[in-house]
Amino acid sequence: MHTDTERCVRAVRSKDARFDGWFFTAVLTTRIYCRPSCPVVPPKPENMTFYPSAAACQQAGFRACKRCRPDTSPGSPEWNQRADLVARAMRLIDDGVVDREGVPGLAARLGYSTRQIERQLLAELGAGPLALARAQRAQTARLLVETTTLPMADIAFAAGFSSIRTFNDTVREVFALSPTDLRARLPKTRTQTGDGGVTTVSAPGVLNLRLPFRAPLNPDNLFGHLATTAVPGVEEWRDGAYRRTLRLPYGHGIAALTPKPDHIACRLTLSDLRDLPVAISRCRRMLDLDADPVAVDEQLRTDPVLAPLVAKAPGRRVPRTVDEAEFAVRAVLGQQVSTAAARTHAARLVTAYGDPVDDPEGGLTHLFPTPQALAALDPESLAMPRTRRTTFTTLVAQLAEGTLHLGVESDWPEVRARLLALPGFGPWTADVIAMRALGDPDAFLPTDLGIRRAAQELGLPSTPAALTARASAWRPWRAYAVQYLWATDSHPINFLPV
């Protein structure tokens, strides 16, 4: 979008928050960059230039606006609706792969050379993988400066910087303030409001922050689904928040997510603060916060059957996951059984094979078991039919061995084909994994019982083939159409827990 100057100027003049994260406005006279919805008086069009990423702005010598804090914009929805190389690379960078494994590690995961990746990222985003990762480190550093009382040296290394000098230089370059000045600007109550705002807490390793999103957001099916299918010990609904344990690169964490009218309140408890950017990225991905609901709903409204459903409750998101392998295992456990039975099966595995954690604030007890731990179990101990035991053991064996990899960088059609080749994997299992684990926005479930009931009630075709043909008009947003169709039922997944 950043190449359409006229459209960008209109968005800036109208302060349209829907475009936050789609592009960034760099002001030539002040050398600052802003989000489209910045509250200040818009500059003259001849003084504006537009970039596709905050990293590109920083690389061109612009610093972040202190009013609108463009580094805390919602992420571009492009990276969650595409499966090409650039989108897959961006999802990996958001997940911290460059900081942990470097650009060669990023290239190895994607199966391309470092030169190819750098060339494509530069062409589309105006910045290479190192610059994009650096921008993310700067944002993490700012969060830690403003939300903790940690010494600056500890913050530098927790944010992923290799030295204190690099940390200081980067913060000054990006925010035009030293780390000490950033902290000094906060009110004495140490409370910051606005998008990306946060509140300091005293407990070590605990941070409260706000996760911004593009409006509208309907929390009913999103939190209803997560809470209704919650695995005891790993997930729970408590005091108006969905809480769950997180297995992270450097340790573990607990996330508590509470829907608010203009943001998601997020409370993170981390055993290692280096996991902060990864934890935020995974929570945002699970709640589908970087989606563009206006674009989705506009497309679905063109169908006269879906239009009343969208008008009644716009902004539905697709409930996703923080761990793709975990969700695949749970999808198999949920084959041809009720939601309650699937939770019971999963809870038994968690108690027997999950890693224990402490949760002073609630009732979470374990991390979900790794594929390696599940691969060691005795199949006869599984209370399920023999054919489904074979499906389960084959899946966890391939996940444990690495012959099947499910991750944010996955190629959706390729992984779906590989899943369908496994014993006991039909279209429903492959597509629900594609939709909720891999994040394919066009995954569709024509054989799902809830979808078939909705189709019958709404007068849509009842056979899977005919319904799939009818749903072609909903592309590329069929996963969101699934949420609207599911919502016609009275199942608890469709209602915000009380």
Instruction: Dump pLDDT digits (tens) for 65-104.
Output: 988 888 877 788 888 788 889 999 999 999 999 989 999 9
Instruction: Report d(CA 493, CA 342) in Å as an integer.
Output: 14
- Residue ranges matching CATH 1.10.340.30 in the chain: 288-494
At 185, the pLDDT band (50, 70, 90 cuts) reads: confident
CATH code linked to domain 288-494: 1.10.340.30
Residue 192 clears pLDDT 50, i.e. is over it: no
pLDDT of residue 34: 95
Residue 189 clears pLDDT 50, i.e. is over it: no
Q: What mean pLDDT comes out for the span 47-59? A: 93
Active-site annotation holds for 448: yes
Residue 2 clears pLDDT 90, i.e. is over it: no
Q: Per-residue pLDDT tens for 232-251? A: 999 999 999 999 999 999 99
- Among residues 95, 99, 195, 448, the one annotated as catalytic is 448
Q: What mean pLDDT comes out for the span 140-165? A: 88
Active-site annotation holds for 65: no
Average pLDDT of the chain is: 91
pLDDT of residue 196: 47
pLDDT of residue 131: 93
Residue 193 clears pLDDT 80, i.e. is over it: no
pLDDT of residue 204: 63
pLDDT of residue 190: 45
- Residue ranges matching CATH 3.40.10.10 in the chain: 5-69
At 143, the pLDDT band (50, 70, 90 cuts) reads: confident
Q: What mean pLDDT comes out for the span 7-33? A: 91
- Residue ranges matching CATH 1.10.10.60 in the chain: 78-184
At 469, the pLDDT band (50, 70, 90 cuts) reads: very high
3-state SS, one letter per residue, for the chain: CCCCHHHHHHHHHCCCHHHECCEEEEECCCCEEECCCCCCCCCCHHHEEEECCHHHHHHCCCEECCCCCHHHCCCCCHHHHCCCHHHHHHHHHHCCHHHHHHHHHHHHHHCCCHHHHHHHHHHHHCCCHHHHHHHHHHHHHHHHHHHCCCCHHHHHHHCCCCCHHHHHHHHHHHHCCCHHHHHHCCCCCCECCCCCCEECCCCCCEEEEEECCCCCCEHHHHHHHHHHCCCCCCEEEECCEEEEEEECCCCEEEEEEEECCCCEEEEEEECCHHHHHHHHHHHHHHCCCCCCHHHHHHHHCCCCCCHHHHHHCCCECCCCCCCHHHHHHHHHHCCCCCHHHHHHHHHHHHHHHCCECCCCCCCCCECCCCHHHHHCCCHHHCCCCHHHHHHHHHHHHHHHHCCCCCCCCCCHHHHHHHHHCCCCCCHHHHHHHHHHHHCCCCCCCCCCHHHHHHHHHHCCCCCHHHHHHHHHHHCCCHHHHHHHHHCCCCCHHHCCCC
CATH class of the region 78-184: mainly alpha
CATH number (3.40.10.10, 1.10.287.3510, 3.40.50.300, 1.20.120.850) of 5-69 reads: 3.40.10.10
Residue 186 clears pLDDT 80, i.e. is over it: no
Residue 431 clears pLDDT 90, i.e. is over it: yes
pLDDT of residue 342: 93
pLDDT of residue 195: 45
Pairing of strands 206-211, 264-270: antiparallel
Q: What mean pLDDT comes out for the span 152-160? A: 90
Residue 369 clears pLDDT 80, i.e. is over it: yes
pTM over 0.85: yes
Residue 191 clears pLDDT 90, i.e. is over it: no
Residues 6+ apart with CB under 8 A from 422: 391, 394, 395, 398, 404
What percentage of the chain has pLDDT greater than the value 70? 96
Q: Per-residue pLDDT tens for 389-425? A: 999 999 999 999 999 999 999 999 999 999 999 999 9
- Among residues 34, 57, 65, 283, the one annotated as catalytic is 34
